[in-house]
Amino acid sequence: MLKSSIFKFSIWALLLLSASTTASAGEEGLGKENLGKESLEEDSLTRYDRRILRYRKHWDVLMPTQSVIQTCGNMGIISLGIGWDYGKRSQWETHLLFGIVPKYDSDEVKMTITLKENFIPWRKDWGKGWQFEPLECTLYLNTVLGHDFWTKQPTKYESGYYPFSTRIRPNLGFGERFTYQIPNNRRKRVKSLTLFYELSTNDIYFMRFYRNGNAGFWDVFGLSFGAKMQIL
């Protein structure tokens, strides 16, 4: 009787062991199959991502990397806009600004549009996230929207009466900037913050000095202040 029980127990043990082995083999096969599917999905996502990257490659450059606010500078009492930085050391910047000119003695408030190009030849690291940019060279064109301004001299004036357009002003300036790089663990929406000032002049102010010769410094140059937020 005892031998019969031992024999039956052995049979059941062998059957259970066989079933367990079979189940393990099945799970292993399913696991390999699932891994194969995941691998295929990863390969598929990789190909998809590459296609999207190729699609967006030439469009990403249009995404603004900066937000800018500037006062005065022959572009309005205050101007707001966006910007892009590029170059090996981000030494080039392009800004598009929209400004407001109070009506003063005119009939209405006017709007300005400014396209600005900056060049920053070098930077000095002060440590603790601070940088000093001792020279900023800037060249920009701005226009005032309104029927009182024109690109070509109206026929009611004698030829050469107004040698310059009253709608479009070329400007040239230089300045200095102070930048604080926000630590990585404290960044939320802004990567760095820059404060700057600029001294600038335009064609009319320069010709005033060239013709008169005795124009004061502030009759030729205008002082402006601004801030730039690096968002990307």
The least confident of 3-17, 50-64, 107-121, 186-200 is: 3-17
The answer to which of 11-15, 86-90, 173-177, 212-216 has the lowest mean pLDDT is 11-15
Cα end-to-end span (Å), the chain: 84
Mean of per-residue pLDDT scores for the chain: 82
> pLDDT band for position 160 (50/70/90)?
low
- Using pLDDT thresholds of 50, 70 and 90, give the confidence band for residue 216: confident
Average confidence (pLDDT) over 168-186? 96
| Segment 16-40, tens digit of pLDDT | 445 444 444 444 444 444 545 444 4
| pLDDT at 7 exceeding the cut of 50 | no
Instruction: Kindly list the distances between the CA atom of residue 36 and the CA atoms of 33, 40, 143, in Å, as whole numbers in the listed order.
Output: 5, 6, 62
Give the whole-number percent of the chain exceeding pLDDT 90.
Answer: 52
* Model pTM score: 0.74
Residue 206 has pLDDT above 50, yes or no: yes
Whether the predicted pLDDT of 231 surpasses 90:
yes
Is the predicted pLDDT of residue 2 greater than 50, yes or no? no
Q: What is the pLDDT of residue 38?
A: 46
Higher pLDDT, 171 or 36: 171
CATH topology of domain 63-230: Porin (2.40.160)
SS3 71: strand
In 3D space, the residue among 110, 103, 105 whose CA is nearest the CA of residue 79 turns out to be: 110
Give the side-chain half-sphere CA count within 13 A for 23: 6
DSSP state of 186: G
Segments of 36-104 assigned E as strands: 66-71, 78-86, 92-101
Which of 8-22, 104-118, 122-136 has the highest average model confidence (pLDDT)?
A: 122-136
Q: Which residue has the tokens 């469009």?
A: 59
Token pair for 124: 């000095």
Taking CA atoms, 193 is separated from 69, 196, 232, in Å, by 12, 10, 12
- Whether the predicted pLDDT of 103 surpasses 70: yes
- Is 60 exceeded by the pLDDT of residue 186? yes
Count Cβ atoms within 10 A of the Cβ of residue 97 and give its class: 0-12 exposed, 13-18 middle, 19 or more buried.
Answer: buried
User: How many of the other CB atoms lie within 10 Å of CB of 124?
Assistant: 9
7-21, 36-50, 65-79, 212-226: least confidently modelled range: 7-21
Question: How confident is the model over 35-69, as pLDDT tens digits?
Answer: 454 444 445 567 877 788 777 877 888 899 999 99
Of 122, 72, 64, 126, nearest in space to 96 by CA? 64
